[in-house]
Amino acid sequence: MTKVASPRRARALRIAKRAAIVAGAILGVTGLLHTRLGRPLLAKLGGAAPGACPVLVGMSPQALEEHRVAAMKPLAGEARAPTRAALSFTLSATTRGDVTAWTAAHGLACKDQVAGTALRCNDVDPKTLDDGTVPIDDLFFVFDPAGKLVALDVMHQGASPDDASRLLDDASARLRRVLGVPPTSTTGDRTSTYLTSAPLAQTAIEYRFRDLAVDVSATNFGDRGVIVREQYRAIPD
């Protein structure tokens, strides 16, 4: 027997799908849909168990790495990055053992995911990463087959517009200091007024190097608050 959703629930799901599609196009589907915000929707859309990814299920670590490399190549810029620093870590240098030791030292409860190529930690104190004051809902590490950290995704979920604006300002200043150059591109405005100006209003900061892609964004999800996301990704050079 097919279960028919109530009109209210069906409308909410339609809105959530539209939000995920728009935000996915801007932020990257495979990132957003693996956060707490996106995982239930991912299961509904893909028919998978909650938390599972129908796109990646069954892929070997080597196949996952090939998928990652292919996805990263189009993001490459011209110059090499002066550093691949990603908050407390360094992409392509920090090892899985380093990350495991760090999570243990900070008392974090983390789980292996994506055929053992990723590690997810939830409810992380931002002070552990010197990353503002808004709780980190989702901290996602990705490793290559050699066990080197190649991507870090940090999600602050449900921030107030003022907190989101401060996070953006702090990230902008930190990236300019660490990378030594202005962003490759920016969109939107970092003020709380702009972030609340419309549903899905978004501000984004983008850096593109030959071997590094960094994106920081804040997106207004209405009643869910503003989602602030930081992505650090090594690009094979």
Q: What is the pTM of this model?
A: 0.77
Which tops the pLDDT comparison, 55 or 224?
224
Q: Is 191 helix (H, G, I), strand (E, B) or coil?
A: coil
Which tops the pLDDT comparison, 235 or 29?
235
Digit-coded pLDDT (tens) for 143-184: 999 999 999 999 998 889 999 999 999 999 999 999 999 999
Position 159 scores a pLDDT of 82
Q: How is 92-140 classified by DSSP, letter by letter?
A: TTSBHHHHHHHHHHTT--EEEETTTTEEEEEEE-GGGGT--SS-EEEEE
Number of Cβ atoms within 10 Å of the Cβ of 195: 25
Average pLDDT over residues 181-203: 94
Q: Which of 22-26, 180-184, 207-211, 217-221 has the lowest mean pLDDT?
A: 22-26
Share of the chain above pLDDT 70, in %: 75
